[in-house]
Chain A
């Protein structure tokens, strides 16, 4: 069991850490999006939703009259703008509209927070299906690690609050236990729901056995699952759409004002157009309601209500909603964020613990295996390297010239190039007789500097910096900058403490050979 926990965790630990960090960032995806698009207007109110629908429709009819589908996202508490998307022969497109004037807001080409969070399950530089399989496999390893971890942790209740600092491996183990056990409901939920999320790609055999491999069977499965009618094909006859604000009024009649989050139009301008209104999901964990209207006549075709359909559907919907935490208000969202960071810390402390144990043995025997050195380098390169790469991603958002082609793609490239550099750095710098502890200090310091620099660069490159955002009560942007400062400070404190410990260990004359064990310190300071 213990073997399974250790090796299961270690083999995919670095990738899991990546998934946890990017996933945790995802709880603030709207906020990150907003900061990474400083051109977005800061408004406290928007026009009335009926009006917005008209503005969106006008824009879409001008820009994409022959599209296969339109989507209009109405503003919400967290997303204060009007967004439109459409899909045509060229693929998917989107625009952001000013919620009062309806003009297109020219935002810089960036993937934003959505891109960062998407990497959490889509990875990058590979087809979706491959990424889904890899992440699900990691998720499976994670599930096994959690279960085996619970099984081998015999004193799970006695050790509940136990943390003994200053005791080398014992402290790392204590912290690993705390970060694992205290958010255990979260960890179990997030892992299992994560697996469920991608199960249509990863466990196809089960539904193929019942529905066959053909597209027709697959569509039948999908529509039976979602209780929605099978999509209709376009006829090619042009007819104008019914009045959208009228449908909005009808929907708001039963759902309440402002509770329509999205309007989707299949085959706009066709005689068989379909308009789907979706209810905003803020007050319930399991609730998805849609109203589907005929696009030309405005007649209600069906009302979809996932609540109370079946136990398995409810469970599925519940798991998905819990995973994303869409329903969460500010406080709960921060709690989710905390739990996610604790999860990342759990993985980080686990890997450092493993490396430390092996290092102690290696110091005694005088021989360190290549595997150990690789693990140590991967540890520092990922645990500090990934946060450094994310800071680089944010910096790139401010520094890459606006007109550059494929700008959004380059922001992501910079993230991975930075991470790769941080992974290679330990091997490179070891040639100059740098001790592992020194490498940790160097990378922690770099992380600290980059995060502290972010609000400064923001000030230099835009007019939406802390000075302005605090004055105009643009709390999201201000909050982002302040959070970056706090993260930078945490890394700085960690680097400083590590430097002190390193110096005290040196002065005690305990150095054996060229490498030293990573000194004990608060694991909380190491992981962000």
Chain B
């Protein structure tokens, strides 16, 4: 059960979090819009990898899941607000 939850957190949660971080990065960087988006996308894979490795290094499965879930929710809300404001 612990392994299942970690795997889920890593694959699904990691993807979500990588995209959230990517979007935030692209909105916060200076430079042209296209370049920001490109930079964010290029880096998204490292972020995804880092998250996955973190999930499996966390002390307990619960810590890992919470560590993914909470930033995902918070980050998504921030993105929602920023994107809605920008568009």
Interface digits, B8-46 against A, CB 8 Å rule (1 contact, 0 not)? 000000000011001100110001111111111110110
Is B69 among interface residues, defined by CB-CB distance under 8 A?
A: no
With a cutoff of 8 Å between Cβ atoms, the chain B residues found around residue A372 in the complex are: none
Q: Is the Cβ of B37 less than 8 Å from the Cβ of A144?
A: no
A209 and B38 in contact, given A1-B57, A144-B52, A203-B19 (Cβ under 8 angstroms): no
Task: Tell me, in angstroms, the Cα distance from A316 to B36 when the chains sit together.
Answer: 13
Is A252 among interface residues, defined by CB-CB distance under 8 A?
A: no
With a cutoff of 8 Å between Cβ atoms, the chain A residues found around residue B52 in the complex are: 4, 140, 144
Complex interface residues of chain A between 294 and 316 (CB less than 8 A to chain B)? 310-313, 315-316
Q: Is the Cβ of A221 less than 8 Å from the Cβ of B87?
A: no
Task: Tell me, in angstroms, the Cα distance from A275 to B19 when the chains sit together.
Answer: 38
Is A147 among interface residues, defined by CB-CB distance under 8 A?
A: yes
Tell me the nearest residue of chain B to A319, going by C-beta: B42
Q: How far is the CB of B75 from chain A (nearest CB, A)?
A: 12
With a cutoff of 8 Å between Cβ atoms, the chain B residues found around residue A203 in the complex are: 18-19, 22, 41, 44
With a cutoff of 8 Å between Cβ atoms, the chain A residues found around residue B36 in the complex are: 210
Is A195 among interface residues, defined by CB-CB distance under 8 A?
A: yes
Q: Which of B32, B35, B39, B45 has the most CB of A within 10 A?
A: B45
Q: Is the Cβ of A192 less than 8 Å from the Cβ of B33?
A: no
With a cutoff of 8 Å between Cβ atoms, the chain B residues found around residue A143 in the complex are: 45, 49
Complex interface residues of chain A between 185 and 211 (CB less than 8 A to chain B)? 192, 195-196, 199-200, 203, 205-207, 209-211
Q: Is the Cβ of B37 less than 8 Å from the Cβ of A221?
A: yes
With a cutoff of 8 Å between Cβ atoms, the chain B residues found around residue A148 in the complex are: 53
Is A3 among interface residues, defined by CB-CB distance under 8 A?
A: yes
Is B83 among interface residues, defined by CB-CB distance under 8 A?
A: yes
Task: Tell me, in angstroms, the Cα distance from A206 to B43 when the chains sit together.
Answer: 11
Q: Is the Cβ of B35 less than 8 Å from the Cβ of A1?
A: no
Q: Is the Cβ of A209 less than 8 Å from the Cβ of B27?
A: yes
Q: How far is the CB of B7 from chain A (nearest CB, A)?
A: 9
Q: Is the Cβ of A310 less than 8 Å from the Cβ of B31?
A: yes
Cβ 8 A contact of A316, one of B42, B56, B83:
B42
Q: How far is the CB of A415 from chain B (nearest CB, A)?
A: 30
Q: How far is the CB of A390 from chain B (nearest CB, A)?
A: 30
Task: Tell me, in angstroms, the Cα distance from A4 to B57 when the chains sit together.
Answer: 10
Task: Tell me, in angstroms, the Cα distance from A479 to B45 when the chains sit together.
Answer: 39
Is A460 among interface residues, defined by CB-CB distance under 8 A?
A: no
A206 and B49 in contact, given A3-B56, A212-B87, A310-B31 (Cβ under 8 angstroms): no
Q: Is the Cβ of B53 less than 8 Å from the Cβ of A206?
A: no
Q: How far is the CB of A220 from chain B (nearest CB, A)?
A: 9
Interface digits, A408-431 against B, CB 8 Å rule (1 contact, 0 not)? 000000000000000000000000
- Size category, B interface: 20 to 34
Q: Is the Cβ of B49 less than 8 Å from the Cβ of A196?
A: no
Q: How far is the CB of A138 from chain B (nearest CB, A)?
A: 12
Q: Is the Cβ of A205 less than 8 Å from the Cβ of B49?
A: no
Interface digits, B44-73 against A, CB 8 Å rule (1 contact, 0 not)? 110011001100110000000000000000
Q: How far is the CB of A315 from chain B (nearest CB, A)?
A: 6
A225 and B38 in contact, given A1-B56, A147-B53, A210-B26 (Cβ under 8 angstroms): yes
Is A79 among interface residues, defined by CB-CB distance under 8 A?
A: no
A199 and B44 in contact, given A1-B57, A205-B23 (Cβ under 8 angstroms): yes
Q: Is the Cβ of B22 less than 8 Å from the Cβ of A140?
A: no
Is A224 among interface residues, defined by CB-CB distance under 8 A?
A: yes
Q: Is the Cβ of A140 less than 8 Å from the Cβ of B49?
A: yes
Complex interface residues of chain A between 106 and 145 (CB less than 8 A to chain B)? 140, 143-144
With a cutoff of 8 Å between Cβ atoms, the chain A residues found around residue B34 in the complex are: 221, 224-225
Cβ 8 A contact of A209, one of B23, B49, B57:
B23
With a cutoff of 8 Å between Cβ atoms, the chain A residues found around residue B44 in the complex are: 199, 203, 206
Q: Is the Cβ of B37 less than 8 Å from the Cβ of A210?
A: yes
Cβ 8 A contact of B19, one of A4, A147, A205, A225:
A205
Q: How far is the CB of A174 from chain B (nearest CB, A)?
A: 26
With a cutoff of 8 Å between Cβ atoms, the chain A residues found around residue B49 in the complex are: 140, 143-144, 147
Q: Is the Cβ of B26 less than 8 Å from the Cβ of A140?
A: no
Q: Is the Cβ of B22 less than 8 Å from the Cβ of A206?
A: yes
Q: How far is the CB of A312 from chain B (nearest CB, A)?
A: 4
Tell me the nearest residue of chain B to A5, going by C-beta: B56
Q: Which of B34, B36, B56, B57 has the most CB of A within 10 A?
A: B34
Q: Is the Cβ of A210 less than 8 Å from the Cβ of B33?
A: yes
Q: How far is the CB of B40 from chain A (nearest CB, A)?
A: 5
Task: Tell me, in angstroms, the Cα distance from A192 to B47 when the chains sit together.
Answer: 12
Tell me the nearest residue of chain A to B56, going by C-beta: A4
Q: Is the Cβ of B79 less than 8 Å from the Cβ of A209?
A: yes
Task: Tell me, in angstroms, the Cα distance from A221 to B42 when the chains sit together.
Answer: 15
Task: Tell me, in angstroms, the Cα distance from A211 to B34 when the chains sit together.
Answer: 9
Task: Tell me, in angstroms, the Cα distance from A147 to B46 when the chains sit together.
Answer: 11
Q: Is the Cβ of B32 less than 8 Å from the Cβ of A224?
A: yes
With a cutoff of 8 Å between Cβ atoms, the chain B residues found around residue A224 in the complex are: 32-34
Tell me the nearest residue of chain B to A205, going by C-beta: B19
Q: Is the Cβ of A312 less than 8 Å from the Cβ of B35?
A: yes
Task: Tell me, in angstroms, the Cα distance from A312 to B54 when the chains sit together.
Answer: 26
6 pairs of residues in contact across A and B, judged by CB atoms under 8 Å? A1-B53, A203-B41, A206-B26, A207-B26, A210-B36, A212-B87
A-B pairs, top 3 by smallest CB distance, nearest first, are A224-B34, A312-B39, A206-B22
* Chain A residues within 8 Å of B, Cβ to Cβ: 1, 3-4, 140, 143-144, 147-148, 192, 195-196, 199-200, 203, 205-207, 209-212, 221, 224-225, 310-313, 315-316, 319
* Chain B residues within 8 Å of A, Cβ to Cβ: 18-19, 22-23, 26-27, 31-42, 44-45, 48-49, 52-53, 56-57, 79, 83, 86-87
